[in-house]
Amino acid sequence: MSFSRIALLAALLAVGCDSAPKASKGAPPPVTPASVGAAVAIVAHDASCAPAAPALICTGTLIEPDVVLTAAHCLDHDMPASLDVIVGPDLKGPRARVQSGAKHPKFERETFAHDVAVLILERPLATAPIPLRRAPLDALGATLDALGYGGVPGASADTLRQHRVLVRLGASEDQRLKLLPGDSMTCRGDSGGPVLARDGDKLELVGVTTHGDPACRELGFAARIDRHLDFIDAQIAAARAPRPPRRAFDPAEDLCRAPCASDDDCPAGLTCVIAERRCSFEGLPPARFSASCTTSCEGDKPCIRVGASQCRCLDPCTPLETTGEPGRSGAPP
């Protein structure tokens, strides 16, 4: 795998939403202040010491100060730890790292069934979350607000803006809402974004944008919030549960020689890549850190920020190191 640029890695991983909604071509009314903060852009985290512009992955909704709800297919090619969220109408607002996350266990990529995922942030964001609607939404024909960042995954921050479209409730199906166009329709890049119902001045989250017709003109779908509350509530409760302390992250530790079975086996802030049984720093492939660097390293290895003022070259673990038995990885004993 080439490590010439972390930005290139992010761009390659960003294709996970290619079959999801595209950017709306309509001219929606202005977004209200109450809705701007709750809809967040989910972007590829760039740990490089020469970072590129943010690469859009999907849209999400802040449902608690440190919890984002999005579509499960947004994690098809991206580990939660490889993502950030950004608040605001463009990609220049406050930013927070994703600490952990999970897809719904019954998610089906072919049918978009149970297409919801929960992301837990490393820190709370100072913006008002949107409350979840816990009762069914049966008002057929009702006008709903859908928000998203649209555009093509990987596009630069200068070309992406949050937009709002008005859609109509066509039907409440078993696990999803069927949406019909109002002034326009949700499209690619809106995946994971909020579908909101209004009760006077109050907004409630009723759906998570999942997919629609390829032309983004006739039909859209959103996962029903009320049908997925058990999963959402369980993920939040798990994130709030006390956990044993983990050892501090030390860039000098040889992570290629430290097998893991869960995140608890890794230093604080790192995640366990189960398939390779090694710890990942900020969603990057398992690796060890070597020489200090400024913006680049020899051999096209990336220069990674491992502290507020420290950058080190990333040296990927070899396949033998991540698939061999512990202690027989090919590294010195």
Element (H, E) at 221: strand 220-224
pLDDT for position 224: 97
What tens-digit pLDDT sequence spans the chain (333 residues)?
333 333 333 333 333 344 444 444 444 444 454 455 789 999 999 999 988 888 889 999 999 999 999 999 999 998 899 999 999 888 888 999 999 999 999 999 999 999 999 999 999 998 899 999 999 988 888 999 999 987 544 455 567 788 888 999 999 999 999 999 988 888 888 999 999 998 777 889 999 999 998 888 889 999 999 999 999 999 999 999 998 899 999 999 999 988 999 999 999 989 999 889 999 999 898 999 999 999 989 888 999 999 878 999 999 998 888 765 443 333 333
Measured CA distances, 176 to 60, 61, 136, 181 (Å): 17, 17, 11, 16
What pTM was computed for the model? 0.82
- Domains of the chain with CATH codes: 6-238 (2.40.10.10), 255-323 (no CATH)
pLDDT for position 201: 76
- E-strand spans in 25-87? 39-44, 56-64, 67-70, 83-87
pLDDT for position 67: 97
Q: Which residues contact 9 (CB under 8 A, 6 or more apart)?
A: 3, 284
